Amino acid sequence: MAIVAQTPDILGERQSGQDVRTQNVVACQAVANIVKSSLGPVGLDKMLVDDIGDVTITNDGATILKMLEVEHPAAKVLVELAELQDREVGDGTTSVVILAAELLKRANDLVRNKIHPTSIISGYRLAMREACKYVEEKLAVKVEKLGKDSLVNCAKTSMSSKLIAIDSDFFANLVVDAVQGVKTTNARGEVKYPIKSINILKAHGKSAKDSYLLNGYALNTGRAAQGMPTKVAPARIACLDFNLQKTKMQMGVQVLVTDPRELEKIREREADITKERIQKLLKAGANVVLTTKGIDDMSLKACISQLAYFVEAGAIAVRRVRKEDLRHVAKATGATVVTTFADMEGEETFDSSFLGHADEVIEERIADDDVILIKGTKNTSAVSLILRGANDYMLDEMDRALHDALCIVKRTLESTTVVAGGGAVEAALSVYLEYLATTLGSREQLAIAEFAESLLVIPKVLAVNAAKDATELVAKLRAYHHTAQTKADKQHLSSMGLDLSKGTTRNNLEAGVIEPAMSKVKIIQFATEAAITILRIDDMIKLIKDERENEED
């Protein structure tokens, strides 16, 4: 029912009722169908080519959706949903989109059958709460019971659908060592794992298994001049966020020169200002200077008369450091990022308290690039992962896969509970919610039954992507979980999930296919909230710009 409302005030198109709902559901299904085939350990990759011809090959749901130009407003909700899951948990971006689209599709069918959207929404909310409670109380297992191997298994499960799945043993250990290497305790005594302190550097050449873990923060840049030392120990680091180039007059400043000899004096003074700044840095005790901007070659040259220059002082200066890297280095070494030399009195000063401390700063050569390594940092320990691979596409996909795995290991360590993967949780919840629905005498019963059915979309898609018989496998899974929930002596069956390489069912907790419990809880919460957001919409008004206004203008 499309009505064109043409009143003197509004010129636009209005769609309402079932039309809008169906349109929104179709748009969300289209988005979910794009990422559907990339779910699971045998999921396929997508090749995305942008408008300037840059190619990205990935099967990470958030990356795929971020690169798509989605026009439809309801479908944009799913794109934001994947980003949210990526930010909060780091993995499970594909699952959350598929589940949200399935919940929407089934809700739309219920609305067509004359069930009011409000009843469906309250049913979905109840189902979501019950599902999350059931996961935390019945399905989650404490990590301590499973030991260190559980962290490696979590990382392997996260990588199973990625490009590096074939070397998952090697990379999983690398990831666990990296996350445990940045362990810190905050003021409140909580143990935290700031994975931003793990710097990932990509270097061409060699094979993926030649990647390694470095103790220290690596900057993907070299010294600013060859005459500088390649190693400084102990290091006192100055982090600057301004130019050390020759000072230039500000825009709009005019200098009227009557005598040509004065010009030379102006030039000299401009050079002297930079020289004085460098002298202030070195006087404060800095022997490593990192700046996000440039350093003039003039101030890098070894001038015998000016001992204050870096080369003469035996200091390392690094220019064009990424701001993000500078912040991490400052945090790890206890330095203060200085944006100006000006103090309260209007003078230019640099205090030694702004300096950060590290055991040593060293320049090494990795592949064909020079890399500055900051080792033995004062505040938090920092580690770097050096990735090797055949080409850019491979390195980028390895980076994305490791980011997901790092996030998952961090979440496992911080939440300390895991659940079985491979569709086990979804099948268990489906059986549980189906039974719950039959105990309710209200109209929410239908919505909860549909919610239970929707959860089965995950094991179904996993089986279909692995070229296995989805109907048979899901039926077996449901039978196992029904037994587990009805017979007290069969509790161990609640970890039954899919073995997609053999096309059978197995105990995934014992097989080491595990995920953090919070990942599953967040997937259910976010998918339900997104589905409810779109389900509440029953009217869409598109305003058309009035041409008459333009004519008047």
Enumerate the active-site residues: 60, 93-94, 404
Please give the radius of gyration of the chain, using alpha carbons only, rounded to the nearest integer: 30
Contact 12, 544 (CB under 8 A): yes
CA dihedral 249, 250, 253, 255 (to 10 degrees): 0
| Residue 142, strand partner residues | 417
Contact 528, 102 (CB under 8 A): no
Q: From the CB of residue 351, how many other CB atoms can be counted at a distance below 10 Å?
A: 11
Pairing label, strands 417-420, 141-142: antiparallel
CA separation for the pair 25, 20 (Å, rounded): 9
CA dihedral 271, 277, 281, 287 (to 10 degrees): -20
Furthest-apart CA pair in the chain: how many Å? 101
Q: Which helix (H) or strand (E) holds 296?
A: none
CA separation for the pair 99, 87 (Å, rounded): 18
Q: From the CB of residue 510, how many other CB atoms can be counted at a distance below 10 Å?
A: 11
CA separation for the pair 507, 419 (Å, rounded): 11
Q: Which residues contact 420 (CB under 8 A, 6 or more apart)?
A: 139, 494, 495, 496, 497, 507, 508, 509, 513, 514
The amino acid occupying position 93 is T
| Chain position carrying tokens 């659940």 | 419
**Residue 161 DSSP class:** T
CA separation for the pair 457, 102 (Å, rounded): 7
| Chain position carrying tokens 């600013």 | 224
HEC profile for 330-389?
HHHHCCCEECCCECCCCCECCCHHHCEEEEEEEEEEECCEEEEEEEEECCCCCEEEEEEE
Task: Single out the residue of 79, 222, 71, 93 nearest to residue 158, CA to CA.
Answer: 93
Task: Single out the residue of 53, 210, 120, 89 nearest to residue 454, CA to CA.
Answer: 120
User: Dihedral of CA 234/327/317/300: which sign?
Assistant: negative
Residue 350 backbone phi and psi in degrees, to 5: -140, 120
End-to-end CA distance of the chain: give it in Å, rounded. Answer: 34
DSSP reduced 3-state for 162? coil
